[in-house]
Amino acid sequence: MTEIFDSSTPIYLQLVERINRQILRGELKPGDKLPSVREMGIQSGVNPNTVQRTYRELEGMKIVESKRGQGTFVTENQKILQDMREQLKQEEISHFVESMKAMGYSESEIVNGLEVFLSQIEGSESE
Amino acid sequence: MTEIFDSSTPIYLQLVERINRQILRGELKPGDKLPSVREMGIQSGVNPNTVQRTYRELEGMKIVESKRGQGTFVTENQKILQDMREQLKQEEISHFVESMKAMGYSESEIVNGLEVFLSQIEGSESE
Amino acid sequence: MTEIFDSSTPIYLQLVERINRQILRGELKPGDKLPSVREMGIQSGVNPNTVQRTYRELEGMKIVESKRGQGTFVTENQKILQDMREQLKQEEISHFVESMKAMGYSESEIVNGLEVFLSQIEGSESE
Amino acid sequence: MTEIFDSSTPIYLQLVERINRQILRGELKPGDKLPSVREMGIQSGVNPNTVQRTYRELEGMKIVESKRGQGTFVTENQKILQDMREQLKQEEISHFVESMKAMGYSESEIVNGLEVFLSQIEGSESE
DNA sequence: GTGGTCTAGACCACA
DNA sequence: GTGGTCTAGACCACC
């Protein structure tokens, strides 16, 4: 299975992002083992060296711990995961607000639009 | 000046997006002349044919009117521009909510996070 | 087989016209696959890019659906085809009336001439 | 003033057609003088030889008479003009019926469509 | 194979 | 100058 990567940013960073999201969404839980470097390389259609670089990066962020001979595991340190969650949230919000302002919307229009949107999808949830 | 394009989506669509935003932000006003296809081609580091494809697309959306021998102009039809503004807003909001939910946030957390963010930047507006 | 095109209107529009008529006449039925852009290019003695422009145009009219890797197909949406049929009929009639009036015929002469003509060919139908 | 000619049929035939229509529409009346070969050449952006050929053709059809030293005149023979009028009418009707049938319309649909069309434009004549 | 995008360069029509 | 069409040929994504 070949994956799709945006060629404008390095693949290893995109992999970092993807794994972070998997953790945030609960697809990967604290203590879970990540696929081996080789395995992930095949899954992602990417060179194992790139995966290695990804895991090193995640380890630097304390999100992941490598245990020699056993594999790479999601940290059990809840605080770190919380911090990451918070940080990604801020980035997402910031990007959203920036885009809306770039389109000329005022802050109140932004909040209002969001609330209207949420109330709408509530009504059509299971259609 | 060579521009950077995300290779994952067609250049002509990225150009469409960019021009739409310029119109929404008021950088291009109704009746304004766009750069000629050749001029824009140079500015964007892109083939004139690609720019023309962009302009043709915009013309199909009724956002722009091309007059042979004269140039390409932003429509003066305010209703169309309003519709586009509204549509892009919806897309932006929808994308935002989807991302936040993908990260496991509840609707109330999303609204709350947005409001906190806005109250923060208010304090540091003119720094 | 090289085809003949009227040089006064763009080839891609003439191709659009031709395909529309083929659909209206039932030579192409809903769901039918059109020749590939390359194939049609050879058949028509025209560049594949020109054929693609044609297909893109038809897709914009919702008359055709292109599926990457599979081909281009006549829509199965009967309503669209009916609308097109009606529209082309109106254009044909309008053009006819205009020509006749330009030659100085009154409306009743036009209707009368048509009816006489039709009654004549009825007699010589299967010659 | 440069005129527009369809490059798929000879210019002199297109000129013949045009003059015929002018006569039928009453823009040129029996006995009227046509522009000189040179004059018409300039008006139409066409070589005088081409005009010469056109006039010769019209003379062969008895629609026009050349009087040496005076010019070329529309015939005063009403019968000829009537015949031409009738012939062009037949061609126009025939072409119309053929097109409509090619689109799959029955004879009654053709007549009906025409009548509906005429009744519609009657209501919006002077808008 | 299929459609889709992009380029380079030509030629045309309009003004 | 402007936009519009067309070609030849390249490369990509999907199947």
Give the contacts of C77 (CB within 8 A, at least 6 positions apart): C30, C62
CA D33 to chain centre: 17
Cβ-based contacts of A85 with chain B (< 8 Å) = 103-104
Report pLDDT digits (tens) over B9-19: 899 999 999 99
Maximum alpha-carbon separation in chain A: 55
Question: Which residue in the set A24, A26, A103 is minimally distant from B21, CB to CB?
Answer: A103
> Which residues interact with strand F by a CB < 7 Å criterion?
A 4; B 34, 36-39, 49, 52, 55-56, 59, 66-72; C 10-13, 46-47, 49-50, 53, 68-70
Residue A58, helix vs strand vs coil: helix
Give the residue from B95, B76, B81 showing the smallest Cα distance to B20.
B81
- The residue extents of the domains of chain D are 11-76, 79-123
Q: Determine contact: A114 vs chain B, CB below 8 A.
A: yes
Contact A100 B92 (CB under 8 A): yes
Give the residue from A26, A92, A25, A23 showing the smallest Cα distance to A62.
A23
Question: Which residue in the set D102, D104, D117 is minimally distant from C97, CB to CB?
Answer: D117
Contact A24, A88 (CB under 8 A): yes
pLDDT of residue D13: 82
Q: Determine contact: B123 vs chain A, CB below 8 A.
A: no
Asked if residue A123 has pLDDT above 90, the reply is no
Round to the nearest angstrom and report the end-to-end CA distance of chain C: 31
A69/C125 Cα distance (integer angstroms) = 90
B56/B34 Cα distance (integer angstroms) = 13
Compute the average pLDDT of residues A50-72: 92
3-state DSSP of D76-112: CCHHHHHHHHHHHHHHHHHHHHHHHHHCCCCHHHHHH
Contact D7 C8 (CB under 8 A): yes
The DSSP output letter for B1 is: -
Report pLDDT digits (tens) over C80-112: 999 999 988 998 999 899 888 878 889 999 999
Residue D117: pLDDT band with limits 50, 70, 90 = very high
Contact D89 C105 (CB under 8 A): yes
The residues pairing with A72 across neighbouring beta strands, listed in sequence order, are A66
Contact D93 C105 (CB under 8 A): no
Report pLDDT digits (tens) over D91-107: 999 999 998 988 889 99
pLDDT of residue C46: 95
CB pairs under 8 A between C and D: 91
Residue C102, helix vs strand vs coil: helix
Strand F nucleotides where any atom sits below 7 Å of a protein CB: 1-9, 13-15
The H or E element spanning position D116 is helix D107-123
Report pLDDT digits (tens) over A6-45: 655 677 888 888 888 888 888 898 999 999 999 888 887 7
Return mean pLDDT, chain C: 91
B11-76 CATH choice from 1.10.10.10, 3.30.2310.20, 3.30.460.80, 3.40.50.10320: 1.10.10.10
Report pLDDT digits (tens) over C30-75: 999 999 999 999 999 999 999 999 999 999 999 999 998 999 999 9
Maximum alpha-carbon separation in chain D: 55
